């Protein structure tokens, strides 16, 4: 696709593989008790594509996109006959030193655009439609930081799968036919202690991440005494097959409040792959040798969702 066509092409609704953007909003809500609220929520999300077009069409070069993820408890309330095979709530992972907490969330909205105002406007209209049917439990505005660095100073996202392998690792296939084209998504909000991180030398930081800081080159650290973040998150099964996920982490922060964070978001065809990564990070491999990124980054939220394909999302309309 040439640049001009790209600038004028809206992004398909519910695209896990929407391009990395300069701005994003991560909005997590719970659905109010009662059948009426669940029906309202179903109605609003089934027409999410219309709302994205309403805002996105005002500047197609903004590439506005929004994915909605539905949590396991909410899925049950939507009275569907079947459920995505691996959909489950997020289970807390208590490690020896650090814990990945599980926090509430029925719906996740992952809003991305090249313009922060488009993200804002979509969120405003969306929450207006949802009204009292939901309560906002977390809202984070992320931004792209220089060459896609996180606030620890490292380029984040390099080893994301691309092309066919991106679809292969992020979209459910024929193994769960009714839900094919959908995706599982896990989000976690991390807060960094940048003062403590700054006391480490660049070499120490690089050993923790597994890549060089300035030029982002992967370290040859197979023989390192303790596994890096990169090594812990490289998942190879007993047949030698590597399992990837699609990440679109975003930095966020309020320097005036001393808040500096990374919002982790991972899309996967198989939820077990993300679960495995988290266990290796928090429990360690070998057990006890957890990811040292956690000594400087505290997970304060954690929740899991199923992102249906657009057709399935539309079919959730109460009157469909």
Catalytic residues: 156
Tell me the C-alpha distance between 147 and 155, whole Å.
7
Tell me the C-alpha distance between 28 and 110, whole Å.
9
In the structure encoding, which two tokens stand for residue 316, read together? 């959730």
In the structure encoding, which two tokens stand for residue 140, read together? 């984070």
Tell me the C-alpha distance between 200 and 296, whole Å.
11
Residues of this chain that interact with ligand HEM (CB under 6 A) are 150, 152, 154-159, 188, 190, 209, 211, 229-230, 233-234, 245, 247, 262, 264, 266, 274, 277-278, 293, 297
Q: Which C-beta is closer to ligand HEM: that of 78 or that of 296?
A: 296
Residue 25 CB, nearest distance to ligand HEM (Å)?
18
Q: Which residue has the tokens 């992952």?
A: 110
For residue 264, give the nearest of 99, 63, 31, 100 by alpha carbon.
Answer: 100
In the structure encoding, which two tokens stand for residue 199, read together? 């006391």
Q: Which C-beta is closer to ligand HEM: that of 25 or that of 209?
A: 209
Q: Which C-beta is closer to ligand HEM: that of 61 or that of 97?
A: 97
Residue 53 CB, nearest distance to ligand HEM (Å)?
32
Q: Which C-beta is closer to ligand HEM: that of 22 or that of 148?
A: 148
Taking the CA atoms of 185, 186, 191 and 192 in sequence, report the sign of the dihedral they define: negative
**φ/ψ bin of 109: left (φ > 0), alpha (ψ from -120 to 50), beta (otherwise):** beta
What b/e sequence results for 164-191 when a residue is b if at least 16 CB atoms lie within 10 Å of its CB, and e otherwise? eebbebbbbeeebeebebbbbbbbbbbb
Q: Which C-beta is closer to ligand HEM: that of 77 or that of 98?
A: 98
Residue 223 CB, nearest distance to ligand HEM (Å)?
17
Nearest residue to ligand HEM, scored by beta-carbon proximity: 159
For residue 170, give the nearest of 6, 278, 14, 23 by alpha carbon.
Answer: 14
In the structure encoding, which two tokens stand for residue 171, read together? 């979209």
């Amino acid at each position: 696709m040439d640049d001009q066509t790209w600038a004028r092409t809206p992004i398909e609704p519910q695209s896990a593989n929407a391009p990395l953007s300069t701005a994003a909003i991560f909005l997590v809500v719970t659905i109010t008790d009662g059948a009426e609220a669940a029906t309202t929520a179903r109605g609003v999300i089934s027409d999410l594509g219309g709302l994205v077009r309403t805002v996105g069409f005002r500047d197609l070069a903004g590439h506005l996109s929004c994915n909605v993820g539905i949590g396991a408890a909410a899925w049950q309330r939507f009275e569907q006959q079947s459920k995505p095979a691996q959909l489950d709530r997020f289970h807390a992972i208590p490690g020896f030193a650090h814990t990945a907490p599980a926090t509430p969330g029925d719906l996740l909205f992952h809003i991305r655009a090249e313009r922060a105002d488009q993200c804002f406007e979509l969120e405003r209209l969306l929450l207006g439609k949802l009204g009292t049917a939901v309560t906002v439990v977390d809202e984070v505005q992320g931004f792209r930081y220089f060459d896609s660095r996180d606030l620890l100073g490292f380029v984040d996202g390099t080893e994301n799968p691309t092309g066919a392998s991106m679809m292969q690792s992020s979209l459910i296939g024929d193994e769960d036919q009714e839900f094919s084209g959908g995706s599982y998504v896990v989000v976690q909000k991390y807060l960094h202690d940048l003062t403590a991180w700054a006391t480490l030398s660049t070499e120490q930081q690089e050993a923790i991440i597994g890549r060089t800081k300035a030029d982002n080159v992967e370290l040859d650290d197979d023989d390192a005494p303790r596994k890096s973040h990169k090594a812990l998150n490289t998942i190879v099964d007993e047949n030698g097959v590597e399992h990837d996920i699609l990440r679109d982490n975003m930095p966020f922060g309020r320097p005036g409040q001393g808040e500096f964070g990374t919002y982790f978001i991972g899309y996967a065809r198989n939820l077990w792959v993300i679960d495995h990564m988290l266990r290796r990070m928090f429990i360690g491999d070998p057990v006890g040798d957890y990811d040292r990124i956690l000594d400087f980054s505290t997970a304060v939220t954690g929740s899991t969702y199923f992102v249906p394909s657009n057709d399935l999302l539309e079919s959730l309309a109460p009157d469909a």
